[in-house]
Amino acid sequence: MPAGPGPVRDNAGMQKTFVGRILGGVLSGLVVLASASRAAAPKKSPFVEVLGQGTVLTAPRETTHKNRRKFLEFEIRLSNAGPTASQPQGADVHLALDTTGRVRVVHDLSCGGAAVALSVGDRIEIQGEYVHVPKGQDLIHFTHAADGKCAHGEQGGAGKHPGGFLRKVTAPPTPRPAAIVPEQPYTGPPPPASERPYFAILTAKEKGASNAELLAKVESEHKAYSLTTPEIQSLRAAGVSDAVIEAMLRSGRAQTPGAATPAPTPR
Tally the domains of the chain.
2
SS3 sequence of 10-40: CHHHHHHHHHHHHHHHHHHHHHHHHHHHHHH
Hey, what amino acid is at 261?
T
Measured from the Cβ of residue 141, the count of other Cβ atoms closer than 10 Å reads 22
CATH code at position 101: 2.40.50.140
201 within domain boundaries? yes
Asked if 78 contacts 97 with a C-beta cutoff of 8 angstroms, the reply is yes
88 within domain boundaries? yes
61 within domain boundaries? yes
Please check whether residues 138 and 191 belong to one and the same domain. no
135 within domain boundaries? yes
Please check whether residues 228 and 199 belong to one and the same domain. yes
Q: Under DSSP, is residue 124 helix (H, G, I), strand (E, B) or coil?
A: strand
Asked if 84 contacts 51 with a C-beta cutoff of 8 angstroms, the reply is yes
Please check whether residues 163 and 214 belong to one and the same domain. no
Please check whether residues 86 and 129 belong to one and the same domain. yes
pLDDT digits (tens, 9 = 90+) for 84-126: 988 999 999 999 999 999 999 999 998 888 889 999 999 999 9
Instruction: Please say whether the dihedral angle defined by the alpha carbons of residues 84, 86, 88 and 89, taken in this order, is positive or negative.
Output: positive
Please check whether residues 159 and 185 belong to one and the same domain. no
pTM, two decimal places: 0.50
How would you write the pLDDT of the chain (267 residues) with one tens digit per residue?
A: 555 555 555 555 556 566 566 666 656 666 555 555 555 545 689 999 999 999 999 999 999 999 899 999 999 999 999 999 889 999 999 999 999 999 999 999 988 888 899 999 999 999 999 999 988 899 999 999 887 666 544 444 445 678 899 999 987 666 666 555 555 555 666 556 557 888 889 889 888 899 999 999 999 888 888 888 888 888 998 899 999 999 999 887 765 454 444 444 454
Please check whether residues 97 and 135 belong to one and the same domain. yes
> What domain range includes position 228?
178-250
Please check whether residues 164 and 55 belong to one and the same domain. yes
Query: CB-based contacts of 48: which residues, under 8 Å, 6+ apart?
Result: 83, 87, 91, 92, 93, 95, 97, 129, 130
